[in-house]
A = this chain, B = another copy of it.
């Protein structure tokens, strides 16, 4: 599927997620990050995010944000009203982004809604108590 990805978060987390992801899976096209500085205004944030959305000429866009209800998420929700093809996922972690790339490149999913649900499913599966998996080894 032709999906552009944007990671937008508080602080420098978005840039760190992108650089760490690229160190694992290699550099990817149509993948942008937007880290929000502490002295931001919601207006500037919306403008910057809108510029990135416009720059990506993909059929769909998925925005990955840090916290539901946080500034990054709220700006994304605000902008979504202007676009029919933008989806937002909260709670971004590294594995969610690895899955987003893998599924974008390799899956036979039929539509964007299936893609979003599969990315969420994979990200939730990545969260676990490691001790309980390896308890026989302790």
Name A residues whose Cβ lies closer than 8 Å to a Cβ of B: 9-13, 15-17, 19-20, 23-24, 38, 65-68, 73, 76-77, 80-81, 87-96, 98, 116-117, 120, 123-124, 126-131, 133-134, 137-138
Kindly provide the distance from the CB of A75 to the nearest chain B CB, expressed in whole angstroms.
11
> 25 A-B Cβ contacts within 8 A?
A10-B20, A10-B24, A10-B94, A11-B16, A15-B16, A16-B17, A23-B38, A66-B94, A67-B94, A68-B133, A77-B134, A77-B137, A80-B131, A88-B129, A88-B131, A89-B127, A89-B129, A90-B128, A96-B127, A116-B129, A120-B127, A120-B128, A123-B127, A124-B124, A127-B127
Which residue of chain B lies nearest to A14 when distances are taken between CB atoms in the complex?
B16
How many copies of the chain does the oligomer comprise?
2
Residue in B16, B98, B133 whose CB lies within 8 Å of A13: B16
